[in-house]
Amino acid sequence: MISVVIPSFNEEENIFEAAKAISAVLAGSEYELIFVDDGSTDGTWEKISEASADPHIRGLRFSRNFGKESAIRAGLEAASGDAAVVIDCDLQHPPQVIPEMIEKWKNGAKVVEGKKSARGSKGSSYSVFAAAFNSVMTRATGFDMSGASDFMLLDRDAVKAVLSYGENGSFFRALAQYVGFESDKVYYDVAERERGSGKWTFFKLVSYAVKNIASFTSAPLLLGLALGTPVIAAAVVLFILKWCKVPLGSFSAGVITLMLIGGLILVTLGVAGYYLSRIYDEIKRRPKYIISADTKERK
Q: What are the residues binding ligand UDP (CB under 6 A)?
A: 7-9, 11, 38, 65, 67-68, 71, 88-90, 92, 198-200
Q: What whole-number distance in Å separates Cα of residue 164 and Cα of residue 175? A: 10
Q: From the CB of 93, what's the least distance to ligand UDP, in Å?
A: 8
* Cβ atoms < 10 Å from Cβ of 202: 10
Assess contact for 151 and 114: CB atoms under 8 A. Answer: yes
Specify the residue, 65 or 138, whose C-beta has the smaller distance to ligand UDP: 65
Specify the residue, 40 or 92, whose C-beta has the smaller distance to Mg ion: 92
Specify the residue, 11 or 157, whose C-beta has the smaller distance to ligand UDP: 11
Size of the site for Mg ion (CB under 5 A): 2
- The dihedrals phi and psi of 7, each to the nearest 5 degrees, come to -65, 130
13 part of the interface to Mg ion, by CB under 5 A: no
Q: From the CB of 79, what's the least distance to ligand UDP, in Å?
A: 16
Q: What is the 3-state secondary structure (H, E, C) of 233-291?
A: HHHHHHHHHHHCCCCCCCCCHHHHHHHHHHHHHHHHHHHHHHHHHHHHHHHCCCCCCCC
Q: What whole-number distance in Å separates Cα of residue 148 and Cα of residue 116? A: 7
Q: From the CB of 13, what's the least distance to ligand UDP, in Å?
A: 11
Question: What residue 11 binds from ligand UDP, Mg ion, none (CB within 5 to 8 A, per partner kind)?
Answer: ligand UDP
| Beta-strand pair 83-86/2-8 | parallel
In the three-class reduction of DSSP (H, G, I as helix; E, B as strand; rest coil), residue 155 is classed as strand
Question: What residue 68 binds from Mg ion, ligand UDP, none (CB within 5 to 8 A, per partner kind)?
Answer: ligand UDP
Specify the residue, 52 or 218, whose C-beta has the smaller distance to ligand UDP: 52
Q: What whole-number distance in Å separates Cα of residue 84 and Cα of residue 75? A: 9
Q: From the CB of 8, what's the least distance to ligand UDP, in Å?
A: 5
- Residues in 62-91 that interact with Mg ion by CB under 5 A: 90
In the chain, DSSP finds a helix count (H) and a strand count (E) of 10, 7
149 part of the interface to Mg ion, by CB under 5 A: no
Q: From the CB of 89, what's the least distance to ligand UDP, in Å?
A: 3
Q: From the CB of 77, what's the least distance to ligand UDP, in Å?
A: 15
- Residues in 89-128 that interact with Mg ion by CB under 5 A: 90, 92
Q: From the CB of 141, what's the least distance to Mg ion, in Å?
A: 23
Q: What whole-number distance in Å separates Cα of residue 246 and Cα of residue 274? A: 37
Q: What whole-number distance in Å separates Cα of residue 131 and Cα of residue 147? A: 8
Specify the residue, 120 or 180, whose C-beta has the smaller distance to ligand UDP: 120
Per CB under 5 A, residues contacting Mg ion are 90, 92
